[in-house]
Amino acid sequence: MSKTNKLTIGLFGFGVVGEGIYQVLQQTPSLNATIKKVCIKDPLKKRSIPDELLTTDPMLILNDPEINIVVELINHASDAYAIVTTALRKKKAVLSANKAMIAEHLGELLQLQKLYDVPLLYEAAVCGSIPIIRNLEEYYDNDLLQGVCGIVNGSTNYILTKLIDEKMEYKTALLQAQANGFAETDPTLDVKGFDAVNKLTILLLHSYGIITSPLKLLHAGIDRIHAHDALFAASKNWQIKLTAQAKKLSESKVAAFVLPQFVTQESQLFGVRNEYNGVVLQSSFADKQFLYGKGAGRYPTASAVLSDISALRFDYRYEYRKYHRAVTGSVLCNDYFLCLYVSFDAISDIALQDFELIEEFRTHPERSYVVGIISYAKLLRSTWVALPTVSIIVCPDGVIENMEALSLKKKSLELAGVKFKEPVKEAIDLIE
């Protein structure tokens, strides 16, 4: 797109974010970007814009040669896929916030951008207003980035804040998140961790050049967090956060998962509350850096879309450098360990023999828990992990890179006076 080109937009979706970008563009005339048509689904809904702008026919936008930017802000992944791929094939620049659709089709979307020589930008799809994708693309070189750990879902962070800080009921907190426009139209996408794992899939591409499917990444949400887990966290003065993590284990191996995590006061994520998101980037030389901002809601998300519209003015596109030089690049690896807190209703709910070692074990008629170290590969294969009566939370600094790190961890625990036992023996002791 040349600098002199007028930005003529075809907008899909006029919901929380779509209406937001419409309003924001009215307030930024300097951008010289005009919305020519808005495609919606339900023609009977009352709207705050002139009727002549509206259509239910997507082809009115996709076939219009004057429209050079398609902004896709609908809440339906397969319709979004059809809109975005058709627009790219018609050589229109595309902006999207649809992380589910993008994460599922990353490989194909990269190819289409190359084939038709048009950009697809999606800053709003990850962490709302935080410019994480462009930062990862432009600033963090593959070799320097040791890890990315973020609260990437505003809705679950809002609910966790209300549960822990205000002792609110889960259902009330979820309803509030929906009323504020933070939650996805289908809130199970948020609370079961699907939204976060879609975002992690996108982050993996821009952090390490890895294209994978969200289905291949271990993820759990916050829907199984038990009131006793919150009490456990409070007793240590920790917070529980749903984090998406990618961590370099060695030169080319990367660990990645979405799980609830205990966060200590020393972590930058500790103070990230309500609908805010935060991402800690660990680099080899700069140490930790922290990006913080609103991760959801009408105007924060619209601000990221606005920034992408503005970037099209100077022909910005993702170059996917880390992916293209990935001949000797990074790969996902399952060969590491996690230190986990696992709470459950009955001992028969979990398999203690799966643990490499057990640091702590408390049984209680209402809710029991174990703190121990387990191989990630084993965790992926274990069926008990997904039981509705089992809650899994990663302990602070819970990623243990390899066997050597596991031995060191064992030694440091022994020095600290932790009297852990072999897992199977522990299980028998306690059952007896």
Ligand X SMILES: NC(=O)c1ccc[n+]([C@@H]2O[C@H](COP(=O)([O-])OP(=O)(O)OC[C@H]3O[C@@H](n4cnc5c(N)ncnc54)[C@H](OP(=O)(O)O)[C@@H]3O)[C@@H](O)[C@H]2O)c1
Q: Is 6 a catalytic residue?
A: no
| Options 16, 151, 326, 357; binder of ligand X; rule CB under 6 A | 16
Member of 33, 95, 109, 124 binding ligand X (CB under 6 A): 124
Q: How far is the CB of 274 from ligand X (least distance, A)?
A: 13
Minimum gap (Å) between residue 151 Cβ and ligand X: 14
Closest CA to 378 of 338, 330, 342: 338
42 contacts ligand X (rule: CB under 6 A): yes
In this chain, which stretch among 38-46, 225-233, 247-255, 376-384 interacts with ligand X, using CB under 6 A?
A: 38-46
For residue 24, give Cα distances in angstroms to 2, 6, 18, 19, 293. Answer: 23, 18, 10, 9, 18
* Residue 190 vs residues 7, 181, 274, 365, 412: alpha-carbon distances, Å: 33, 12, 14, 31, 37
Interface pattern 207-226 for ligand X (x via CB under 6 A): --------------------
348 lines the binding site for ligand X (CB under 6 A): no
Task: Provide the mask over 170-189, with x wherever binding to ligand X is found by CB under 6 A and - wherever it is not.
Answer: -----------xx-xx----
Estimate to the nearest angstrom the gap between the alpha carbon of 286 and the chain centroid: 24
Query: Is residue 150 within a helix (H) or strand (E), and if so which, with residue range?
Result: strand 145-151
Shortest reach from residue 297's CB to ligand X, in Å = 5
Sheet holding 93-96, edge to edge: 54-55, 33-39, 7-12, 69-72, 93-96, 120-121
Residues of this chain, 83-112, that bind ligand X according to CB under 6 A = 97-99
Q: What is the DSSP string of 198-212?
A: HHHHHHHHHHH----
Q: Which two tokens stand for residue 249?
A: 């284990």
Q: How far is the CB of 179 from ligand X (least distance, A)?
A: 12
Set 37, 162, 192, 199: catalytic member: 199
Least separation in angstroms between residue 145's CB and ligand X is 24
Contacts of ligand X in 249-308 (CB under 6 A) = 296-297, 301
Helix (H) or strand (E) segment spanning residue 260: strand 253-263
Helix, strand, coil percentages, rounded to 5, for the chain: 40, 25, 35
Residues found near ligand X in the complex (CB under 6 A): 12-18, 39-42, 45, 73-76, 79, 97-99, 124, 128, 181-182, 184-185, 296-297, 301
Residues with catalytic roles: 199
